[in-house]
Amino acid sequence: MKTSIQTGKLLLLLAIAASMLTTGCDWKASPIRKGIKGGLAPINELAVTPGDEAELAAVTATEVARVQYRYRLTVLREYCNTVGDADRYGWSGQEIKNLDDAQWFTWTGIPEVLPPKGESLSDADARLLVESVIATRSAYKKSMRDLEKFFSGRLSVEKAKFVNRARMRFDPVRTYLYFFSAEAPPENMRPVNIIPAAEALYTQAHAAYKRASLIPLAPDYKKQREALRLFLTITEQHPTSTRSPLAAFYIGHIYREYFNEDVRAVMWYERAWTWDHRIQIGARFQAAVVWDYRLENRERAMELYHDVLKFEFNDVTNRTFAKRRIAELTEGGQGGLTEIPIR
């Protein structure tokens, strides 16, 4: 019996270590390697063909779209810094980094493209700034698709590959709608319909999620992105499906465990239990842990730990932890991270 207990503790410690290593791992743009089949030379500059007016116009239009998009992100970030909006400040910074990481080369042989002159933020409106970001992001993505199509039509295979790679390196997870009401269906939605298309999407998404999570120390981020996209599709295209609450839970979980998107995660966890008040997958518990240990909002965490005891009955480990954590917080203690149950 003693050996069995010791083995159990060892497995728990290994699971904790795995969780700590994988939780919050960030996305990195795929490297450019030379010498592999279909690979690209690691260049820093890509030149427009001299005298080719059509190519000059196409490349310049794309660069204008990129600079405009980056500028609108910078303005939004400065505004958020001014008003103390930490969440959107962080998101806009992530999106700027995502844009900069995606295109590793610069175009030469085109006129210098400069951002607009600075604008006053004294009477700025957050929603208008966000709308400008989203509009310029869409224009940039379209311009990249158009440029790739242009080079493909010209049989400029190498340049088409470079544009395609830059487009693929632009990570959709690191783009934001900045207002959660725009990212998810409303909390008062009632998902009561069994929709075959949503059932099929859920089966596909959950299978991708499980495959991506088979090896804790080496998660498959590509598969997690696929699962995230499919779960999001359920909430976007079939919001009244009975699968939407579970999809919301897994969206939150993927954001939390694999992309370090803690604010997004707790918002999606909350959608899971507001859409299905009886959900037993542990949405309240997972949200409580994020609020407690990552976002350090112990008041909100305490509320949710109490809700775990009221509404979540299927996981004894979670309930035991919630009781202990309530006692620690009531006494003013901070508790230990190593005590968090692994899921």
pLDDT per residue of the chain (343 residues) written in tens, 0 to 9: 434 334 333 333 333 333 333 344 445 555 554 433 445 666 889 999 999 999 999 999 999 999 999 999 999 999 999 999 999 999 999 999 999 999 999 999 999 999 988 778 878 899 999 999 999 999 999 999 999 999 999 989 999 999 999 999 999 999 999 999 899 999 999 999 999 999 999 999 999 999 998 877 778 888 999 999 999 999 999 999 999 999 999 999 999 999 999 999 999 999 999 999 999 999 999 999 999 999 999 999 999 999 999 999 999 999 999 999 999 999 865 555 435 554 5
pTM: 0.78
Two tokens at 169? Answer: 């390196």
CA–centroid distance for 250 within its chain:
12
**What structural domains and CATH numbers belong to the chain?**
45-178 (1.20.1260), 185-339 (1.25.40.10)
